Amino acid sequence: MAKKKEPEKKKKINTDGVMGLVGSTTEQAITETLESNYMPYAMSVIVSRAIPEIDGFKPSHRKLLYTMYKMGLLTGGRTKSANIVGQTMRLNPHGDAAIYETMVRLAKGNETLLHPFVDSKGNFGKVYSRDMAYAASRYTEAKLDPICAELFRDIDSDTVDMVDNYDATMKEPSLLPTSFPNVLVSANQGIAVGMASNICSFNLKEVCDTAIALMNNPDHDILETLPGPDFSTGAELLFDEATTREIYTTGRGSFKLRAKWRYVKEGNLIEITEIPYSTATEVIMDKVAELIKAGKIKEISDMRDETDLGGLKLTIDLKRGVEPEKLMQKLFRLTPLQDSFPCNFNILIAGMPRVMGVGEILEEWTAWRTDCIKRRIYFQVQKKEERLHLLKGLERILLDIDKAIRIIRETELESEVVPNLMIGFGIDEIQANFVAEIKLRNINKEYILKQTRAITELEKEIADLRATLNSSRKLKNVIISELKKVSEKYGKPRKTEIVYETAQIEPEEEEEPIPDYPVTVFVSKEGYLKKITAQSLRMSGEQKFKEGDSLAFSRETTNRAELLVFTDKFQCYKSRLSDFDDGKASQLGDYLPQKLGFEQGENLLYVVLPGEYKGFLLFFFENGKAARVPLSAYETKTNRRKLTGAFSDKSPLRSLITLETDEQVAVYSTDGRTAVFSTALLAPKTTRNTQGVAVLSLKKKAALSHAVLLKDSGIVNESRYRCKTIPAAGALLKAEDSPEKQITFEV
């Protein structure tokens, strides 16, 4: 009887892609799969691909730049990008496309970085364009930018560890010994597994100044020297102090950026010349087209991209009668012309990812750079000691050159020359080899004296290096010196302009034009404001005030003028005079604390009419310090009513002076002393709540009482109180120089 034929087993594809039979697969717990397969991959992406390290580079950047350095492209001419890509593949096991994309991002032509590392020639695309593709590597050329000299400085002096490449055929640096905090200067973005990194770029000079300031004073206020990020695409940074401080402390948060624009009256058009770093021209154009199609924007007749070799330019043709300012506020609100840059300062420190604030990053960089300097100095000491050792052996021969010649001449075997010299002069093998290799023409007294003369100098150099190696102060000074040189040589002005505007642009209803006409403003000590027209003022009699109240401030201005009100809660309230009704001299007026919505217990200190926000405000504090802040720091383009942190909260405010040009100012202390100096000695500060600088050297229990312009002080003997430098102790005030009673707000 014939055997029954067994049915053929069906084939199937296993999950690993291998052809097999049904029943030949093995079961595996998902947790085991994750541990054995996925976790190593995740760690590899985090540590070896996506997250930058303390030198500011990812492995792909480092491998490319080091390859170019070894190719001699730091000092030589450009070579084809394809050649560089091919050479880089010896270190980077990825495809040529990935390597070339890395080069494009680092190139000057792409404009991604504030300080590009690749000096490029050809089309490398643009960071602000989504569709402007870069040319193939065979068409472009590149070399290293001069700033790369700071990346590779002393790399051959054992400053960093050299490790095997992927196939162990050559060595590559684990980090680049950057002589400046490149981790904050170069923008960097990476998405790993379960985490990401997004580091904005800061101005090189400001970063170097901040690093130096923190090394000299760990309690330094970073915002004083690093007011905000600086992007290669420029635009405007909408400064918000609270947000900035949070990012500087935690390493997380987002900066708001806004495009730069100008109105061209001749063609009734708007030209946008700089856009936020986080967007692209095509994205903006698409969004505007979408809004026009939806009927949400009716003021635009045409919009086109006129970007050329001169740089970025988006042109908007306006319809007749459109106000450019209002349209731009609308576009900022509805399009990526105003955008956010999210920050996540995630950096690998000793192989472990850490999210850090700016201060912590600079602290880590300083510690790492100190280690690099120590390794360099130790390497130099070793080299000099080796040289010194050889020269001391040579010095021994000076005692008897003839004996050395006789030993060499009378030795029968070549292999015995070195041992015989060692015995004859009491030197070791290294020294004997050095002596034996000297040419016959150099075995003379003059040559040997010339060589050994360097022994004293070498010993002094070694002693100096060892002293530096053992002194933390000297090591710190070496780093500071290098940072200053980098800052002077490669520092550039800021590209991103800081605008002191932090509020969101709120939707505004169409408003009727505000009428403008002359008015006179009166403010009483208790905070009552009267706005009186010129006609009403001519017809009115004596000004009426509440019982016990009196006039503190009056000024002629216009109905459209803005008003700044400073309070003892370190806040500034903004308002327009048009928000107040026209009054009469016989009325008490509007009560400012109620009208502006003061907080409980908040009192008015000073009132300022800023005009066109040109000039400065001088703040004088009880602790003897003064701060000079530009009025532009208080200008906002939205209807923001309150600015917090309007001035420093470290000491009570005693006087506030509005300044258009530099003048002489008189400062008084509670112990009867007065000092007169020029306001030119006070450098402007970028932040509103700066603590300022000391102007009075106060004695114990003394304090700054008030300050006035010299012309308003009543001082007769000016030379008695004049000071050329600050802080100054001043001189005791004479009776004839006593000022008239100054009008201030009583708190």
The residues annotated as belonging to the active site are 139
Partners of residue 316 on adjacent β-strands: 270, 303
Tokens of residue 647, six digits: 């001035």
Closest CA to 491 of 62, 188, 203: 203
Question: Do residues 682 and 625 make contact, with C-beta atoms less than 8 angstroms apart?
Answer: no
430-436 own/partner pairs: CB under 8 Å, 24+ apart: 430/389, 430/390, 430/393, 431/389, 431/390, 431/392, 431/393, 431/394, 431/396, 432/393, 434/390, 434/393, 434/394, 435/393, 435/394, 435/397, 435/404, 436/408
Dihedral sign computed on CA atoms, order 452, 453, 456, 457:
negative
Distance CA 123, CA 134 (A): 5
Q: State the helix-helix crossing angle for 358-398 and 241-250, rounded to 10 degrees.
A: 50
**How far, in Å, are 253, 341, 364, 582, 708 from residue 53 at the CA level?**
20, 21, 11, 63, 53
> The sheet that has 673-678: what strands, in order across it?
704-709, 664-669, 673-678, 731-732
Alpha helices by DSSP H, 399-428 = 401-410, 417-425
SS3 282: helix
Neighbours of 571 (CB within 10 A): 18
For 143-198, the DSSP string reads EE-GGGGGTSTTGGGT-S-EEE-TTSSSEEESS---SS-HHHHS-EEEE-SS-EEE
Tokens of residue 239, six digits: 């400064």
Distance CA 572, CA 563 (A): 10
Dihedral sign computed on CA atoms, order 77, 83, 87, 93:
positive
Question: Do residues 588 and 556 make contact, with C-beta atoms less than 8 angstroms apart?
Answer: no
Distance CA 629, CA 645 (A): 13
| Burial group, residue 496, by CB count within 10 angstroms (0-12, 13-18, 19+) | buried
Closest CA to 565 of 521, 527, 616, 531: 527
Question: Do residues 655 and 626 make contact, with C-beta atoms less than 8 angstroms apart?
Answer: no
